């Protein structure tokens, strides 16, 4: 293969970033030269998300940008949007190849044969046929790695397209994850963030069955014993899968950071029922209570959706008041977006978009208050901060163990180092 250049752009979640990083390494191993997405490249790869309409629109805008800048370049679309809407994407002017969930990690093979044609080639299959697990990790300045240990989801929340885009829940095994982490430890990485679509469902194996009899608690127990990695974070875990034993392990660990991210989506049991979530708000409150009892300094992040069909002002107020009452640290607020082929799209009592946006703003303000309070509580404390390489106007940033963002004057010898810092 001739020396060709490739540029990547990632939309969506940390899982996508880990997979893009792996795709990049696959192509670099095939002799491709990696370029920045703003540079001119022979091949552009867009790894898409499809959680919201905005991600779909952004994909189209990126393709148009490439067409204006480099019309002779090859354009490859992969990721969730590519699996869900392969024919729709293939009709976008300038797209040459659409890779579904089963084919994205075969990208090098596809590029060997690909030439610029009038019509796009689609390589995709029905999501029910997607099996196997591809471990992925992303490295940003060797400071922090996002390591995928689980993929897919067997839950059927009424608002979500992820099971249709990524397939059934499947995962790596403990032995492979341990070996991957030992390998990463030799690169100087200080922190590993465990990622997945439904991380707490780890243990079903690459084909989505429970034959290997492993679970997420056994994974974190094994990681605790590995030398060479100083910090782990659990990226996001469903409240019904966050067991007491996992919380207790983190409470007694020097390696697992005092930081949980636990999706809630709504503080109203009525709306949780319409969403087909697998818990009630009382369980969520109990999880937060136990964490704060065992780890008072712990950061707790929360995902919440506003404007779901049927969310009256009273139900939204339930959510607001519930979140206000919880000892949490920050919110990731999502405005409900209609997604094709979901149960929610057929529901009555649609919330006007302007009301959705106003509720989003109210919860983002609450998030700011929560994070300010979380930070204020720890002023004067010495906590360990992992500083990153990025320098902005002579400043550098990093995060404490309990996820407080720290800005400090740039010092080269602090890059990728864990520093004692008084908040």
Distance from C-alpha of 137 to C-alpha of 303, rounded to nearest angstrom? 23
Question: Cβ-count burial of 168 within 10 angstroms (0-12 exposed, 13-18 middle, 19+ buried)?
Answer: middle
pLDDT in tens, 321-335: 999 999 999 999 999
Q: Using only the alpha carbons of the chain, give its radius of gyration.
A: 22
Residue 204's alpha-carbon distances to 68, 170, 211, in angstroms, are 45, 5, 7
- The answer on pLDDT for 1 being more than 50 is no
pLDDT in tens, 4-49: 999 999 988 888 899 999 999 999 999 999 999 999 999 999 999 8
When comparing pLDDT for 260 and 206, which is higher? 260
Using a cut of 0.75, tell me whether the model's pTM lies above it: yes
pLDDT in tens, 379-422: 999 999 999 887 778 999 999 999 999 999 999 999 999 999 99
pLDDT in tens, 47-64: 998 766 676 788 889 999
Q: Name the strand (E) or helix (H) holding 386.
A: strand 382-387
If you count DSSP H runs as helices and E runs as strands, how many of each does the chain have, helices first? 13, 19
pLDDT of res. 173 = 94
Distance from C-alpha of 38 to C-alpha of 23, rounded to nearest angstrom? 18
Question: Kind of pairing, strands 121-123 and 395-400?
Answer: unpaired
pLDDT of res. 372 = 98
- The answer on pLDDT for 232 being more than 80 is yes
DSSP 262: E
Length of the chain: 423
β-pair partners for 151: 170
Distance from C-alpha of 363 to C-alpha of 171, rounded to nearest angstrom? 34
pLDDT in tens, 135-174: 898 876 568 899 999 999 999 999 999 899 999 999 999 9
Task: Give the phi and the psi of residue 234 in degrees, each rounded to 5.
Answer: -95, 115
pLDDT of res. 141 = 59
Please give the mean pLDDT across all residues of the chain.
93
pLDDT of res. 53 = 66
pLDDT of res. 346 = 95
Question: Cβ-count burial of 70 within 10 angstroms (0-12 exposed, 13-18 middle, 19+ buried)?
Answer: middle
pLDDT in tens, 71-126: 999 999 999 989 998 898 999 999 999 999 889 999 999 998 888 877 788 888 78
* Terminal-to-terminal C-alpha distance of the chain: 53
pLDDT in tens, 251-269: 999 999 999 999 999 999 9
């Amino acid at each position: 293969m001739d020396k060709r250049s490739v540029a990547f752009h990632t939309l969506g979640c940390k899982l996508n970033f880990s997979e893009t990083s792996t795709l990049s390494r696959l192509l670099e191993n095939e002799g491709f030269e990696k370029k920045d997405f703003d540079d001119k490249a022979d091949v552009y790869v867009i790894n898409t998300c499809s959680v919201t309409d905005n991600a779909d629109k952004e994909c189209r805008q990126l393709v148009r940008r490439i067409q204006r800048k480099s019309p002779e370049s090859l354009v490859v679309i992969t990721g969730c949007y590519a699996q869900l809407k392969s024919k729709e994407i293939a009709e976008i002017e300038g797209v040459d190849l659409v890779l579904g969930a089963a084919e994205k990690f075969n990208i090098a093979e596809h590029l060997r044969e690909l030439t610029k044609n009038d019509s796009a080639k689609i390589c995709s299959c029905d999501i029910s046929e997607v099996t196997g697990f591809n471990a992925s990790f992303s490295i940003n300045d060797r400071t922090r790695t996002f390591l995928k240990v689980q993929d897919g989801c067997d839950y059927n929340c009424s608002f979500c397209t992820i099971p249709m885009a990524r397939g059934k829940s499947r995962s790596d095994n403990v032995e492979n994850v341990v070996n991957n982490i030992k390998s990463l430890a030799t690169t100087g990485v200080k922190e590993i963030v465990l990622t997945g679509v439904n991380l707490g469902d780890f243990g079903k194996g690459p084909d989505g069955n429970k034959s290997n009899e492993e679970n997420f608690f056994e994974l974190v127990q094994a990681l605790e014993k590995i030398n060479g990695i100083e910090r782990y974070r659990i990226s996001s875990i469903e409240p019904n899968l966050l067991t007491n034993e996992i919380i207790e392990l983190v409470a007694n660990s020097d390696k697992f950071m005092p930081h949980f991210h636990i999706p809630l989506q709504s503080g109203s049991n009525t709306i949780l029922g319409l969403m087909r979530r697998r818990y009630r708000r009382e369980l969520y409150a109990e999880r937060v209570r136990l964490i704060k009892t065992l780890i008072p300094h712990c950061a707790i992040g929360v995902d919440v959706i506003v404007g779901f069909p049927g969310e009256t002002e009273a139900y939204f107020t339930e959510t607001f008041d519930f979140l206000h009452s919880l000892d949490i640290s920050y919110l990731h607020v999502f405005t409900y977006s209609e997604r094709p082929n979901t149960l929610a799209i057929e529901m009555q009592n649609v919330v006007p978009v302007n009301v959705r946006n106003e509720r989003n703003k109210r919860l983002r303000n609450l998030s700011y208050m929560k994070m300010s309070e979380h930070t204020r509580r720890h002023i004067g404390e010495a906590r360990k901060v992992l500083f990153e390489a990025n320098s902005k106007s002579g400043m550098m940033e990093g995060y404490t163990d309990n996820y407080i963002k720290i800005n400090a004057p740039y010092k080269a010898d602090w890059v990728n180092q864990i520093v004692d810092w008084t908040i």
